[in-house]
């Protein structure tokens, strides 16, 4: 059978297996109603269908009914208890192939049919697997089929073996193990696990890190944690007791406790540890206790100024962008694009155009990785691949007035597990005035200055202990920026004052019994560039010193030391790093389209605003990651675009790192990027780029990491793409005449007026200017506020008291139910 080759590999209903605590679910103090934004044009509609919009509830329901009817031989159950049951984990849109979409966008063909991508838990010959299928075309008809989906996975298969099918059993076993050694934990840690009450504020929790998974062998280290119920600070409440486990058998009765580790000493058995504790010279480590130091809020302090509210942005005359909420289509100041969502990767944008010309076909996150280092059994090899937990599924409601301005437009996040789910107000769109001018210049006779505004599409994904704020920003000149900020609790290491901890080697002591734990955040994005069309090429423009001679310099200067530009075409698929001293510019040009001055139309890729250049992974050939994240080894990659290479990663890579279903190294295989060398290559390039930080946490990260210290971004800047700066058409600004007689300075105020422009009373004629009169003093370009405005309180500080308090199921980064459907109550 043939089916459209499309799939953005996501398993956002996933979460099993990484080293982390059975952290309990945190509460979210407000719910669905966001403060309404001013009404937009009722007649604005997208010119084209959004081919990337998620399945509707009706489509998902049809798919589920079809599966239960057509896949009867699988004995699918609607109420799974573990990974050995056959059931539908989730379904979502199978995004169409670009080769199927482009003819529709250019009015040469009808829209391609819609398909669903389905993830099934399936047991074959007693072994549990997770399998991908394509179901379509939709709506369901006699033409609809269910086919294995494997073309877009370079492992050549549509499945990954599930290493721990009995996830609930594993959770219970870990807590029971801790409870069975309560005599030890009470003496060493002052608390015991309570398997009967997961919300016990005094009960210990467990976190596990897989050490080895191969050929049916699964070895873990498990660490004990305080719960942090009051502050959700579980990840900074590790305790100093660790136990090694062998959970290789499918029968939990055969799982084994291997050895214990405490204060730098290994104990081969539980009895050995008990015997050691009874010795008079046994040294107790301090306990890492919760307290006010983990509080995220301070309701008592009153430094000068806190009694006043902060400044806020307002939008009293409505939005300047246009939004088709049904089609999720946005238009602003020459930009147009479609919004799409995914359970695993959150928000992506498609068909981004500027002033009618194509710029980027697809822009979206691929994976978010955090890799730790340390000298204890947990931090020594801990890593996360966060799409496994569902960065789209973990997009929660945004807070108007805090996450986004009160006037923002809000969109929901929809996904489909055992039933369709909607998280309201989880995407916001708004225009915002920057804290700096876009352009200014002062001459002898006048000053011209322009306001800088951006359109921002924002979402926040909470994955366990971290909240990631991800922005797509658009600038008036055609620039696009992708920015990530992180906040939340760090994942700390236990600090034994007299133990083997090498202070300063992996972090710093930041409280009584914890130290920071150095780690790399590397967050990968895909940018499928179509600069004025699909035929693009990548150039490195070197800025290099040179020595030369000029006839007009001689004889006084026989040789001149200067610099020049040198182009280096990228001829093969490659990974490259940001250049030293910004000594090269990375440019994507259209192969043959020129601007009015005969220069190739292009865009520049450059580090944007944030804490320095975005990094790549420090660790070489990570023993924990295996082949699951080779994209993290360089700052950016330039590859040929292929329908069979849709993503840099797949969430299931997390549970099969040595043999991932998507191996990025097989994608970046040095194929030619020259159309002259391969007649089948049309010049369609994809750039995979990384954001993130080398996070060396310190006392400033207690209690939470701050967003302005964790920001990174990449910008795409027009480079000869336009004939001149296009922002002149859309920017708002003012031109002020100066008094040239007495040198630079404002025109002297009239009698009785002050020189403060904010308080000066100006006539309408002066405001708008008289073109034919040399006496014009102030001339605005773009609209101004000519009269005072009246604002409702909600425009300044949205009321949140009316929100219905409800609990959000935040991924707890542990052996929980995220991989297998909704988290259980």
- CB proximity list for 33: less than 8 A, separation 6 or greater: 425, 802, 803
Annotated catalytic residue 68? no
Burial of 617 (0-12, 13-18, 19+ CB in 10 A): buried
Report the DSSP beta bridge partners of residue 138. Answer: 114
Q: Which residues lie across from 494 on neighbouring strands? A: 514
In this structure, the number of other CB atoms found within 10 A of the CB of residue 250 comes to 14
Calculate the alpha carbon distances from 166 to 23, 215, 460, 661 in Å. Answer: 18, 18, 31, 22
Structure tokens at 601: 């139309």
Helices (H), ranges, 717-763? none
DSSP secondary structure string for all residues of 236-260: G-EEEEEEEEE--SSSGGG-EEEEE
Number of alpha carbons in the 13 Å side-chain half-sphere of residue 226? 29
402-to-300, 398, 405, 471, 523 alpha-carbon distances in Å? 20, 8, 7, 15, 24
Distance CA 510, CA 463 (A): 23
Q: How far apart are CA 371 and CA 799, in angstroms?
A: 40
The CB density around residue 535, as the number of other CB atoms within 10 Å, is 18
Element (H, E) at 117: strand 114-124
Catalytic pick among 466, 468, 495, 586:
466
Contact, 746 vs 739, CB < 8 A?
yes
Which residue among the candidates 290, 386, 528, 537 is catalytic per the annotation?
386
> CB of 206 within 8 A of CB of 23?
no
Which three-class secondary structure state does DSSP give residue 813? coil
Cis ω before 681 (30° cut-off from 0): no
Q: Which tokens in the block code for residue 705?
A: 């990491």
DSSP bridge pairs for 716: 480, 605
The 10 Å CB-count burial string (b at 16+, else e) for 328-351 is bbbbbbbbbbbbbbbbbbbbbbbb
The C-alpha atoms of residue 316 and residue 795 are separated, in whole angstroms, by: 8
Rounded CA separation 822/423 (Å): 13
- SS3 category, 502: coil
Structure tokens at 683: 């010049």
b (16+ CB within 10 A) / e for 416-429 = bbbebbebbbbbbb
> Are 12 and 391 in contact, with CB atoms under 8 Å apart?
yes
Q: Where are the alpha helices (DSSP H) in 71-208?
A: 98-105, 167-180, 182-189
What CA–CA distance (Å, rounded) separates 529 from 532? 9
Angstrom distance (rounded) from CA 97 to CA 114: 11
In angstroms, the CA 284 to CA 262 distance is 9
Tokens of 414: 């929809």
Coil, strand, or helix at residue 65?
Answer: helix
In whole angstroms, what separates CA 51 from the centre of its chain? 22
CA distance 718 to 211: 47
Does the active-site annotation cover 386? yes
Give the DSSP per-residue string, 641-670: -BTTB--S--GGGGG-SSS-SS-HHHHSS-
What residue has token string 């693009």? 536
**Helix or strand run (H / E) with residue 510:** strand 509-511
Which residues are known to be catalytic?
Answer: 386, 466
């Amino acid at each position: 059978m043939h089916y459209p080759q499309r799939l953005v590999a996501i398993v956002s209903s996933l979460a099993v297996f990484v080293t982390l605590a059975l952290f309990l679910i945190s509460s979210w103090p407000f719910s669905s109603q966001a403060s309404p934004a001013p009404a937009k044009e009722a007649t604005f509609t997208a010119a084209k269908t959004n081919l990337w919009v998620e399945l509707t509830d009706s489509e998902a329901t049809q798919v589920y009914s079809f599966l239960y009817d057509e896949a009867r031989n699988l004995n699918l159950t609607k109420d799974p208890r573990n990974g050995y049951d056959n059931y539908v984990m989730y379904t979502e849109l199978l995004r169409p192939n670009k080769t199927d979409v482009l003819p529709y966008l250019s009015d040469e063909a009808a829209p391609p049919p819609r398909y669903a991508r389905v993830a099934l838990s399936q047991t074959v010959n007693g072994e549990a697997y997770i399998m991908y299928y394509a179901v379509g075309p939709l709506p369901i008809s006699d033409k609809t089929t269910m086919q294995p989906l494997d073309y877009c996975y370079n492992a050549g298969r549509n499945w990954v073996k599930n290493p721990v099918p009995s996830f609930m059993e594993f959770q219970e076993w870990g807590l029971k193990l801790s409870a069975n050694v309560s005599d030890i934990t009470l003496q060493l840690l002052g608390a015991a696990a309570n398997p009967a009450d997961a919300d016990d504020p005094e009960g210990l929790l467990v976190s596990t890190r897989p050490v080895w998974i191969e050929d049916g062998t699964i070895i873990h280290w498990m660490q004990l944690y305080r719960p942090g119920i009051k502050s959700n600070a579980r990840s900074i409440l590790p305790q100093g007791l660790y136990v090694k486990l062998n959970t290789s058998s499918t029968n939990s009765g055969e799982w084994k406790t291997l050895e214990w580790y405490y204060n730098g000493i290994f104990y081969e058995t539980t009895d050995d540890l008990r015997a050691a504790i009874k010795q008079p010279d046994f040294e107790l480590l301090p306990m890492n206790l919760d307290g006010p130091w983990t509080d995220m809020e301070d309701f008592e302090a009153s430094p000068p100024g806190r009694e006043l509210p902060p400044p806020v942005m307002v939008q009293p005359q409505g939005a300047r962008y246009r939004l088709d909420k049904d089609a999720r289509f946005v238009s602003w100041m020459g930009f147009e694009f479609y919004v799409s969502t995914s359970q695993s990767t959150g928000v992506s944008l498609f068909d981004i155009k500027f002033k009618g010309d194509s710029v980027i076909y697809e822009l979206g996150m691929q994976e978010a990785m955090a890799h730790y280092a340390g000298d204890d059994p947990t931090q020594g090899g801990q890593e996360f691949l966060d799409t496994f937990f569902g960065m789209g599924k973990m997009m929660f409601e945004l807070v108007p007035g805090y996450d986004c301005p009160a006037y923002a437009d809000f969109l929901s996040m929809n996904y489909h597990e055992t039933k369709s789910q909607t998280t309201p107000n989880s995407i916001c769109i708004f225009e915002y005035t920057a804290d700096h001018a876009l352009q200014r210049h002062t001459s002898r006779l006048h000053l011209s200055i322009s306001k800088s505004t951006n359109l921002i599409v924002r979402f926040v994904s909470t994955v366990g202990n971290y909240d990631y704020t991800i922005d797509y920003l658009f600038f008036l000149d055609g620039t696009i920026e992708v920015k990530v900020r992180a906040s939340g609790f760090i994942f700390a290491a236990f600090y034994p004052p007299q133990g083997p901890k090498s202070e300063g080697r992996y972090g710093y002591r930041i409280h009584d019994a914890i130290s920071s734990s150095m780690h790399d955040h590397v967050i990968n994005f895909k940018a499928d560039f179509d600069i004025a069309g699909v035929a693009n090429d990548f150039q490195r423009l070197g800025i290099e010193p040179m020595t030369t001679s000029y006839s007009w310099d001689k004889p006084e200067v026989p040789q001149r030391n200067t610099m020049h530009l040198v182009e280096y075409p990228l001829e093969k698929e490659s990974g490259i790093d940001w250049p030293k001293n910004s000594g090269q510019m990375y440019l994507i040009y259209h192969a043959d389209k020129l601007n009015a001055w005969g220069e190739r139309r292009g865009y520049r890729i450059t580090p944007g605003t944030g804490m320095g250049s975005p990094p790549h992974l420090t660790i070489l050939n990570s023993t924990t990651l295996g082949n699951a994240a080779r994209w993290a080894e360089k700052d950016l990659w330039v590859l040929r675009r292929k329908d069979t290479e849709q993503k840099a990663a797949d969430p299931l890579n997390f549970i099969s790192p040595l043999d991932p279903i998507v191996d990025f190294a097989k994608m970046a295989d040095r194929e030619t990027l020259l159309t002259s060398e391969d007649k089948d290559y049309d010049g369609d390039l994809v750039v995979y780029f990384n954001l993130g930080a080398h996070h060396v946490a310190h006392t400033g990260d207690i209690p939470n990491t701050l967003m302005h210290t964790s920001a990174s971004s990449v910008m795409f800047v027009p480079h000869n793409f336009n004939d001149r700066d296009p922002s002149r058409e859309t920017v708002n600004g003012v031109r002020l005449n100066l008094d040239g007689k007495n040198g630079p300075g404002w025109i002297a105020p009239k009698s009785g007026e002050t020189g403060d422009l904010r308080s000066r009373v100006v006539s309408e004629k002066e405001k708008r200017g008289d073109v034919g009169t040399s006496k014009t003093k102030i001339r605005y370009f773009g609209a101004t506020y000519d009269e005072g405005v009246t604002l409702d309180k909600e425009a300044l500080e949205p009321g949140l008291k009316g929100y219905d308090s409800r609990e959000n199921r935040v991924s707890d980064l542990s052996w929980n139910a995220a991989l297998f459907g909704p988290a259980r109550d």
